[in-house]
Amino acid sequence: MARGPFLIAFSILSFLLSAQQSLTDSLRGAFQLERDPVKKLEIYYDLATEIKEHNLEAAFPYADTLENMAQKQGNKKALARALDLRGDALVEKGQVEEAIALFRKELVLFEELADQQGQAMCLNSLGIAFKELAQTDSTIIYLLKAAKIQEDLGGMSELASVYSNIGNLYVDKQVYDKGIEFLQKALKIRQENGEEKRSIYTLNNLAVAYGSKGDLDLAMDYARQGIDLALKYDNKYVAGVISGGICHLLHGKGENDEAIRWCEQSIRYLEAANRRPNLVFPLVNLATIYNDQKKYNAALEVAREGYQLMLEYKQVEPLEVYYEEMAKAYEGLGNYEQAYFWYKKFMVLDDSLYKAETVRDMAEIETKYETSKKEAEIASQNLQLTRQQGRLFRQRTWIFGLGLGLLAFILVGSLYYNRYRLRQKAILDAAVIREQQLGLNAVIEAQEAERKRIAKDLHDGIAQELVAVKLQFNALENKLRRTVPEESGQLTELSRQLDESCTELRNISHVMLPPALEQHGLAPSLEMLLRNTLQTTGLKVEFDCGEIPVSLDHRIAIGVYRIAQELINNIVKHAEAAKVMFQLYAAGNNLILRIEDDGKGFDFEAARKKGSMGLLNILSRVNTLGGVYFTEPGQPQGTVSTVRVPFHD
């Protein structure tokens, strides 16, 4: 039944291959004939982009040539495009961090040229790159900036690209209707502007969105449209990607035999397009299907093949799935030693790499981003007003000082002596404070070192032993179910208790030493802290994170994290609140942490006089970081706690 459409597509392909070749030849011919050096570089960029669609590796020598020609002419725009071409190719190869460094250089060039169109395209590329690294905050900020510029410029084609990327982000966060809305906007723009070729990617995105939502019929319809259009333009890479998506959808419907055929087709297309890094997705889909069918040897074979590709190209996604599928295959084959080895790798990666990402309401982030821009404008105006008032104050002080000059001359002797005494006292006080500060730093560093040691012992020692016990218990449980079925209920309860113990142990380890703090930074760690601490309390939580330094000093990050931990615990235990607003942002060279609740309020002075341990712990850490901490009543009730900590770029 599937044979007829495939043969038709193949016959059409042979005709369109020559059309694609003629387009490439046409661009080459135009490049040779063009005499204007600026236009010549623009044609060469279009040619390189077209070549990249069909031969990813060829993009790099084309980017090198474009960069060389641009440097000779001193053409910054062409130089930026060379960086963009190389960066896009690196993202497709999985070398995302290298690509981000190139995109940042590209953005600087477009800013120097005051080229808003170029800036928007670069911001869009940065958003795509950060999405690959699962850094949601950076992704949405860059994409919204790109969308705003394109909307102002009326660049419909480029706006469609940004809408597609925003839609994909919503889908990733399971906000399916909002994601589909943006993707449909993008498809409409493509169709109205006659961009049939670029519609291929949007059709693929819609197929993924509807499939994730659970509407498999619409997902299959969009996927087939995308494949037909991809083959029309000889884009076997996208055809392979979409075929792999259909495989995943069919597997979700339980149609495994048909799913295997689509996976194999995906592999053929991707191999023909020389996109070896992308083979890891259909291969892991095959491994999953074979494991479900209890064909463990076949599952292990394709999983090993895909895993070798991931090692070869240093890919991260979907490494977690490969670990899990290889563990399942070994467990099905009865090789519990290897199953334990791969399950352990899966657990470590599952804890440290992916759990730092949280699902957030993207529409709310969009609103907060626009609000933060307005607040920044107001803050800038207030700063200008403060500076003007400062200048007036200095002028008045100078005039008044001249009038008192004679009196000051008479009193200078006595003032000098008093000043000398005060200076000596200040030096002595400063020395005492420094000694106290050093002692406090030593205590806090010792506490963190001990936390780190205990957390590591829990995670790497007891947790791994519990995993081994769980695997052995599963093997014993399977055996006892066959021999003593009447005891199955008790076995199920014991298994559940063991799972809960493993989870509780990991949670304790993460509270003592959050793994996401070193790997993903302060903001994701605080989001995880809020989720883990407040998810069972019934509190409504809002988290707003502005732009903060990427390379924040670890001492500051762990200090702010511990302060937030103490404040959240106080709210849960004492505030009797229903809602908490959590903000983290940078203002000048200060990192600001602001937590507001609508509880019964907090008497700061009374708590300090009483010697509250929680408050003393907060004040100690703030002093150690050279920051300030203060509270004020919320409106109409509650408490607002603010921590301001200085940092250096």
428/431 Cα distance (integer angstroms): 5
Question: One-letter amino acid identity for 558?
Answer: I
475/273 Cα distance (integer angstroms): 44
* pLDDT at 83 > cutoff 90: yes
196-274: CATH topology is: 1.25.40
Q: What is the pLDDT of residue 46?
A: 86
At 430, list the tokens: 């400063």
**Contact present, 79 and 45 (Cβ < 8 Å):** no
Q: Is 276 exposed, middle or buried (0-12, 13-18, 19+ CB in 10 A)?
A: middle
Please state, in angstroms and as integers, the Cα–Cα distance from residue 242 to each residue in 7, 138, 204, 246, following that order. Answer: 18, 27, 6, 6
Strand partners, 581: 542, 596
Strands 579-587 and 639-646, how do they pair?
Answer: unpaired
**Contact present, 572 and 533 (Cβ < 8 Å):** yes
At 142, list the tokens: 């860059």
Of the ranges 131-145, 413-427, 450-464, 467-481, the best mean pLDDT one: 131-145
Name the residue with higher pLDDT: 169 or 564: 564
327/349 Cα distance (integer angstroms): 14
Which residues, other chains included, contact 117 with Cβ-Cβ below 8 Å and sequence gap of 6+?
A: 149, 153, 155, 158
**Contact present, 99 and 91 (Cβ < 8 Å):** yes
pLDDT (tens digit, 9 = 90+) per residue, 107-149? Answer: 999 999 999 888 888 898 898 888 788 787 788 788 888 888 8
Question: Domain 275-354 - what CATH class?
Answer: mainly alpha
| Of 498, 499, 577, nearest in space to 542 by CA | 577
Q: Is 320 exposed, middle or buried (0-12, 13-18, 19+ CB in 10 A)?
A: middle
At 195, list the tokens: 């961009």
For residue 408, the tally of other CB atoms under 10 A from its CB is 10
329/401 Cα distance (integer angstroms): 86
Mean pLDDT of the chain: 77
Classified as helix, coil or strand, 630 is strand
pLDDT (tens digit, 9 = 90+) per residue, 321-350? Answer: 888 899 999 999 989 888 888 888 877 665
Which residues, other chains included, contact 382 with Cβ-Cβ below 8 Å and sequence gap of 6+?
A: none
**Contact present, 151 and 173 (Cβ < 8 Å):** no
Residue burial 40-73, b: 16+ Cβ < 10 Å; e: rest: bbbbbbebbbbbbbbebeebbebbeebbebbeee
* pLDDT at 380 > cutoff 70: no
| CATH topology identical between 196-274 and 519-646 | no
Please state the three-class secondary structure of 72-93 as a single string. HHCCHHHHHHHHHHHHHHHHHH
* pLDDT at 376 > cutoff 60: no
Report domain extents, the chain. 38-93, 196-274, 275-354, 417-510, 519-646
**Contact present, 240 and 202 (Cβ < 8 Å):** no
At 518, list the tokens: 């070193």
519-646: CATH topology is: Heat Shock Protein 90 (3.30.565)
65/609 Cα distance (integer angstroms): 71
Q: What is the pLDDT of residue 360?
A: 39
Going by pLDDT thresholds of 50, 70 and 90, the confidence category of residue 248 is confident
pLDDT (tens digit, 9 = 90+) per residue, 33-76? Answer: 888 888 888 888 888 888 887 777 888 888 888 888 888 889 98
pLDDT (tens digit, 9 = 90+) per residue, 505-559? Answer: 666 655 556 665 667 788 888 888 888 777 778 888 898 888 888 778 888 888 8
194/442 Cα distance (integer angstroms): 67
